[in-house]
Amino acid sequence: MDTLKALMVFMTTAENGSFSDAARKLGVSPAAISQSIARLEQELEVRLFNRTTRQLTLTEDGRRFYAQCRGPVNNLDAAINQLKASRDEPAGHLRISLPNSFGRHFILPLMGEFCQRHPKIRVFFGLDDHFSDLIEDGYDVGVRVGMMPDSRLSARHLAQLPLYTVAAPEYWSKNGRPQKPDDLANHNCINYQFPTSGRLCKWEFERDGERIPLEVNGIYTLNDIEAVCEMARLGFGVAQVPGHEAMPYLRSGELEAVLTDFISLERSIYICFPHREHIAPRTRVFVDYVAEKLAEHPDIVADLPGLDLTAKREAAQH
């Protein structure tokens, strides 16, 4: 049995979700794919796929086996691409993990130009606020907001994000504006719950280099940051959200920020990828492209009119 060939058939089938699609990709018949998978299952003495007349899905063993195979295959692919990089343009399949809201608003709109620059790259996006494990789930690269990637990953810091405390103008007119973080005890604060852990996100403030975490209370709790912004825009309470989420509403006047002397820059944007000796050219060009574009994006790098966070950013980097 040609083990390497069987593994490639298995991984192509897992990624395409059907024998027929895998067959078209590899230029063979669906029967040949089915037979190869059956021989591999017999060799391993484990079922890799659940088969029905309408659907083909990985078993739990199959998912685990795919994750274990993905790393070595990526390394082999990266090594081959590294050798070819001097004469070939970046090519192949690029698997990208993105947080939902940030991915939709800031990464997906960039992809038209990226794919024009690199027409031989084929892209898969996994949009998920549960922060998929890049290595276990076979991703080449991931964008992460507000969390430092784990030690198994290389990370490139892209930007520091101000946390704005906001509400609709009508809310402030009716309830008054807080002058210090503790004043929020008298307001209806909209909580954000992390989708992965179910833990409530503590609000963050800072003054004179001192970090001030704060637990707040309110009627509403949501596990989607866009929905938190929308609730605040509709006048239901006060929210604390990253600048890139709040900026369009702040520009339009639908939200107004308070406590700007206490803005925290604790959260950041990172683009990360698994540690490897050789980084595939397709991964490298994507990382460089995203870093270039986000460094120019006004919703990420701009501050509120009359507010300059440059000194605070410089202090946070030291």
pLDDT value for 150: 64
44 with 169, same domain: the answer is no
Q: Among 64, 82, 110, where does a domain finish?
A: 64
pLDDT value for 147: 64
How far is C-alpha 292 from the geometric centre of its chain's CA atoms? Answer: 17
pLDDT value for 86: 44
pLDDT value for 266: 78
175 with 312, same domain: the answer is yes
How many CB atoms lie under 10 A from the CB of residue 129?
A: 18
pLDDT value for 59: 92
How many CB atoms lie under 10 A from the CB of residue 11?
A: 17
Q: Residue 234: which domain range?
A: 159-267+307-316
CATH number at residue 195: 3.40.190.290
Per-residue pLDDT of the chain (318 residues; tens, 9 = 90+): 577 788 888 989 988 888 988 888 889 998 999 999 999 899 889 999 998 877 888 999 999 998 888 878 777 776 666 666 545 678 899 999 998 889 999 999 999 999 999 999 999 999 887 777 788 888 999 998 876 666 678 888 888 889 999 999 999 999 999 999 999 999 999 999 988 778 898 899 998 888 899 999 999 999 999 999 999 999 999 999 999 999 999 999 999 999 999 999 878 889 998 876 668 889 999 999 999 999 888 888 878 877 877 767 666 665
Q: Among 35, 64, 93, where does a domain finish?
A: 64
Residue 53 lies in a domain: yes
180 with 312, same domain: the answer is yes
Residue 101 lies in a domain: no
52 with 190, same domain: the answer is no
Q: Which amino acid is at 216?
A: V
311 with 198, same domain: the answer is yes
CATH number at residue 14: 1.10.10.10
pLDDT value for 128: 83
Residue 150 lies in a domain: no
pLDDT value for 169: 97
pLDDT value for 82: 63
In whole angstroms, give the CA distance from residue 98 to residue 105: 11
pTM above 0.75, yes or no: no
Q: Among 64, 88, 110, where does a domain finish?
A: 64
Residue 246 lies in a domain: yes
DSSP the chain: --HHHHHHHHHHHHHHSSHHHHHHHHTS-HHHHHHHHHHHHHHHTS--EEE-SS-EEE-HHHHHHHHHHHHHHHHHHHHHHHHHTTTS---EEEEEEE-HHHIIIIIGGGHHHHHHH-TTEEEEEEE-TT---TTTTT-SEEEEESSPPPTTEEEEEEEEEEEEEEE-HHHHHHH---SSGGGGGGS-B-EEB-TTT-PBPPEEEEETTEEEEE----S-EES-HHHHHHHHHTTS-BEEEEHHHHHHHHHHTSSEEE-GGG-EEEEEEEEEEE--SS--HHHHHHHHHHHHHHTT-HHHH---TT---HHHHHHHT-
CB 202 within 8 A of CB 213: yes
Residue 301 lies in a domain: no
51 with 197, same domain: the answer is no
Count of domains forming the chain: 2
pLDDT value for 279: 81
